[in-house]
Structure 1
Amino acid sequence: MNQPLPFGAGGHTGPTGPAGHTGPDDLTDLTDVMHKVAGGDKEAFSTLYDALAPMVFGIVVKVVRDRSQSEEVAQEVMIDLWRQAARYRRESGTVSAWAATIAHRRAVDRVRSAQASADREQAQAARAHQTAFDQVAEQVESRLESEQVRRCLRGLTELQRQAVTLAYYGGLTYREVAEALRTPLPTIKTRMRDGLIRLRDCMGVTT
């Protein structure tokens, strides 16, 4: 069923909207309507849709927050009600309560999916950055004996040059470099990163 949701049009603002629209008292018993929907009655589904769509949207938008996504999720909920109508049982509660449960579950799923997608993108970006950094470090290290590197090292700040030299000539860890230079570890990491980037640019190293 691809009937458009009435959100933002025609005055539908929710289950307690303008006069003539569905209110909470009208949602108490839609059992007969649901049974007809289960039998494939499209008119019954239109009735169900008009009764429940504002409530469903209200539940979804409180969880999802984004109106456009909420409209999509609410549409999916109404499609679920059409497809799953035969599974409804009166003893499980009212039709509106059943619809509310489905709406909340769908909304939570959308939020979790969006968060998971954002986390994956962030992790992927972090891995890509670290990979590129490691490649530069590896190529710089492999050329440390060359005159070109020594010349490029002279172009670094004193702290950058000392940190890079201790790490790649002396084989010290970041923490050991920080202790040797009596400099905070975060500062050493930053100087090492900036130093390697300047070496890359000076040497023409590509990633």
Structure 2
Amino acid sequence: MVIDGLEVSEGDSAPIDHVGILLERIAQGEQRAFARLYDMLSGRVFGLILRVLVDRSQSEEVLQEVFLEIWQSASRFAPNKGQGRSWVLTIAHRRAVDRVRASQASSDRDVRVGFRDLDVAHDSVAEQVELRVEGRKVAGALSTLPEAQREALTLAYYGGYSQSEIAALVGVPLGTIKTRMRDGLSRLRTEMGVTT
């Protein structure tokens, strides 16, 4: 089979990673491969970013950042560690989450300044202690879960990945991820003494 003038063999061993092939060509500075990758994935990448950010104009900015990063760092793609599409979507998700965190940090700073200016007494020490205690409880409860359940929940709640993305990253069927998350959440509730 030929992809953009590049002969690729179609063996029975593994499916062809078209995105991975394009990334390897982008790493060599091929602009045509970059344009093809953009045409192939920009809609999917934009949808992922928009789902995280909700704001369309910010999503468009992040989309540009993602493809700039792909152009600059395509040489870091390691085909032996995963599929090209997953690598691109991971970059997009990370960039979108970073933007959310930056926006949240800015908003938090504004709120803190507002509270400081109001000169309202606030027991931040007690709040920090409570958050740390709760965090330790969750971490302790997570550590009791089987590795597969812990991994799925950590990727979802700390990494911000969807169930479909987790299935792609871990390399298992979507139904398996759903089961792991459901069972893991059930065990966490029991472990933390949460009654429903």
TM-score by length of structure 1 reads 0.48
The answer on whether the counterparts of 2:22 and 2:34 sit within 8 Å (CA) in structure 1 is yes
Aligned to 1:50: 39
Is structure 2 residue 83 aligned with structure 1 residue 94?
yes
Identity, in percent, stands at 44
Equivalences for 1:173-184 in 2 at 5 Å? none
**Tell me, which stretches of 5 or more residues in structure 2 are unaligned?**
1-15, 121-196
One of 62, 65, 68 as aligned partner of 1:79? 68
Equivalences for 1:1-207 in 2 at 5 Å? 28-130=17-119
**Equivalent position amino acid for 1:47 in 2:** R
Larger gyration radius, structure 1 or structure 2: 1
CA drift at 1:28: 4.7
CA drift at 1:75: 1.1
The SS at the match of 1:84 is: helix
**Equivalent position amino acid for 1:76 in 2:** E
Distance in 1, matches of 2:113 and 2:20, equals 49
TM-score by length of structure 2 reads 0.51
Aligned to 1:187: none
Distance in 2, matches of 1:77 and 1:37, equals 14
The C-alpha deviation readout for 1:39-78, integer Å capped at 9, x for no partner, is: 1111111111111111110111111111111111111111
The SS at the match of 1:40 is: coil
